[in-house]
Amino acid sequence: MPVGMLIGLSSLRGKKWLIAIVNTGMGLPPVLVGLVVALLLWRSGPLGFMGLLYSKTAMVIAQTIIALPLVTAFTIAGVQRIDPELIRYTVSLGATKWQLFKIVLREAKSTILVALMAGFGSIISEVGAVMMVGGNIKNDTMVMTTGIMSETRMGNFESALYLGAILLIISFAVNLCLTLIQQKQSA
Amino acid sequence: MPDLNPAETIGLKSPLLSVRELAFAYQSKNSESGFSISVKELDIYPHNRLAIIGPNGAGKTTLLQLISLLLQPRQGIISFNGVGLITKKQVLDYHRATAFVPQKNILYNCSVRDNVALGLSLRKESPSDIDAKITEILKTLKIEHLANKSALKISGGEARRTMLARALVLKPKILFLDEPFSDLDEPIRRELIEDLLPLISQTGCATIFVTHNQDETYQLADRFMIMLKGSIVQQSNAHEVFANPATQEVAAFIGIKNIIPSKVIGFDKDIISISLETGKKEALKIVVSGSKPKSENVIVCIPPESIVISAPQSPEMHTSSRNVIPGIIKRIIPSRYFAWVEVDCGTILTASITHESILEMGLSPGRPVRLLIKSTAIKILPGA
């Protein structure tokens, strides 16, 4: 989000390129992210000494990489939709850089909440990357999506479906909260 | 610039804001729409009320944004209270000591009250202080009933009032107003000006405002600055600008319709004889009172309201007018309070006459008339 704010507010020469790269990142295949992170964390890989492969930390790293471009791109879009005159005016009203940041964030609130929903949606439903870097270890790095896969492979369709239902309920609950916040202000 | 006398700079008369050698250019991909602004010298003293007037596209808004530091000038020094504004801290302090009301409605996505409070909360004032100040200003500007309404759902006039409240509640040292009353219907505009004037004098701030509506300026300003094509062409009090426009362009802008290149043909005891260019063999001669012009080529300006139309058959001149010019009515163009009557006297002279007079005298295109012009009503500008 802060990255998106910075890019959205800045007037760098390479801004268009940067935005194009971030937008490409939105279509980043999670499996590819998983592969790259796994290779980096592999015991013989460059970051292997940290012993992070097949750990929760590794999964968080991979998920962050997947969600980052989504959240960033939506934030950029939200910030850019704000009237540049409003930004200049806010400065003349006596806002410091930090105060301007907060005001812009508030003005772009509804798009930024979409950014959070998109980011959340992309990672909660993700299988490939967490599987590759987490290893799907029961009671440790197994998450619901990978759990559904395991159960299905073992023929436990019933528990797989239950897991799926729970996953949907959680997802719905989170999105409901975010949507309520988003819709509240426009009332 | 001559060196400033130190006694003067610390005296009471030191300017609140001073601008020197300001320059700015709009970069634009198609070079035609780019333009530049330059201002040599501009001083604003406490309680000044300066109007920057000029036609659309003269750069008035840009100039206002430059001196309020909404835009960064390319060159030049802007000093506030005698200190140049250079560091970020100085610029922030300057922004916090002044207030800008943009032409466009800029409202934040929150209630009217929160919009008005924003400047104060940016200055980290205590919530109870903010509350008291907001309640007062909302009442003065008659928008207290809107306090809890979303600012994005109010009318144009209410939005203006909200933005003025947001600026004035800060008790700024300088108030910048960019076309504050454009887009408002006449009664709403008048009401807003009536409410605003006492508030401005009460706040005691210097006011700089931009407009292309000259009627507004009389009520709001004590100093005029006329801007044409990115530079200031005349600066003085209101009466002076209208009595003695500095250039042909200023004269045209302030509505002096009859601007005619002419030649001085004689001078005798404060009376100048001038021949107006007519494009015909027979020149049109008039007399003007005033001191001898420097050059033979002059530009004659005759305000339309100082031309009197009389019927040609009326008994021989019981008039004090030195100039009696025969002509034929070419066109009558009605406007709100009066009509423009264009009379062909060799060159076209336009007079403004009330609708009643036109009916009474039975004026219509093609009719011969006589124009009476007092020699003191004619202004002479140096010609090219």
Q: What are the tens digits of pLDDT across the range A127-162? A: 888 888 888 888 888 888 888 888 888 989 999 999
Tokens linked to B61: 């808004």
- pLDDT greater than 60 at residue B203: yes
Q: Are B250 and B226 in contact (CB under 8 A)?
A: yes
- Option in A93, A96, A185 nearest B118 (CB): A93
Instruction: Please give, rounded to a whole number of angstroms, the shortest distance from the CA of A39 to a CA of chain B.
Output: 47
Lowest mean pLDDT across A100-114, A173-187, B101-115? A173-187
Q: Which pLDDT band holds residue B28 (cuts at 50, 70, 90)? A: low
- pLDDT greater than 80 at residue B4: no
**Residue B338 falls in which region: left (phi positive, over 0), alpha (psi -120 to 50) or beta:** beta
Residue B148: exposure state from Cβ atoms within 10 A (0-12, 13-18, ≥19) = exposed
Q: What are the tens digits of pLDDT across the range B139-176? A: 999 999 999 999 889 998 899 999 999 999 999 999 99
Amino acid identity of residue B136, one-letter, is E
Share of chain B above pLDDT 90, in %: 26
Which residue segments constitute the domains of chain B, with CATH numbers given? 13-248 (3.40.50.300), 256-382 (2.40.50.100)
**Residue B142 falls in which region: left (phi positive, over 0), alpha (psi -120 to 50) or beta:** left
Q: What are the tens digits of pLDDT across the range B56-72? A: 888 888 899 999 998 88
Amino acid identity of residue B353, one-letter, is I
- pLDDT greater than 50 at residue B8: no
The pLDDT mean for chain B works out to 85
CA atoms within 13 A on the CB side of B151: 22
- Tell which CATH architecture fits domain A2-135: Orthogonal Bundle (1.10)
Q: Are A26 and A70 in contact (CB under 8 A)?
A: yes
Q: What are the tens digits of pLDDT across the range B283-331? A: 788 888 888 788 888 888 888 888 988 887 666 556 667 788 888 999 9
Say what the pTM is.
0.78
Name which residue leads in pLDDT, B96 or B180.
B96
- What is the sign of the dihedral through the CA atoms of B268, B271, B273 and B277? positive
Contact B119 A94 (CB under 8 A): yes
| Interface check B100 vs A, CB under 8 A | yes
Mutate to test the interface with B, among A88, A92, A99, A102 (most CBs of B within 10 A): A92
**What is the predicted pLDDT for the residue at B381?**
84
Q: Which residue of B has its CA nearest to A187?
A: B150
Ordered by start, the domain boundaries in chain A are 2-135
- pLDDT greater than 80 at residue A35: yes
- pLDDT greater than 50 at residue B86: yes
DSSP output for B107-160: --SSBHHHHHHHHHHHTT--HHHHHHHHHHHHHHTT-GGGTTSBGGGS-HHHHH
| Interface check B171 vs A, CB under 8 A | no
| Interface check B13 vs A, CB under 8 A | no
Q: Which residue of B has its CA nearest to A108?
A: B109
CA nearest neighbour of B160 among B147, B177, B175, B145: B177
CA nearest neighbour of B176 among B95, B55, B68: B68
- Give the helix ranges, DSSP H, for B42-126: 60-67, 88-97, 112-122
The maximal CA–CA distance of chain B, rounded, in angstroms, is: 80
Angle at A173 between CA A168 and CA A177, to 5 degrees: 145
- pLDDT greater than 50 at residue B1: no
User: At A90, is the secondary structure helix, strand, or coil?
Assistant: helix
Instruction: Please give, rounded to a whole number of angstroms, the shortest distance from the CA of A111 to a CA of chain B.
Output: 13
Amino acid identity of residue A78, one-letter, is G
| Interface check B27 vs A, CB under 8 A | no
- Option in A83, A92, A107 nearest B68 (CB): A92
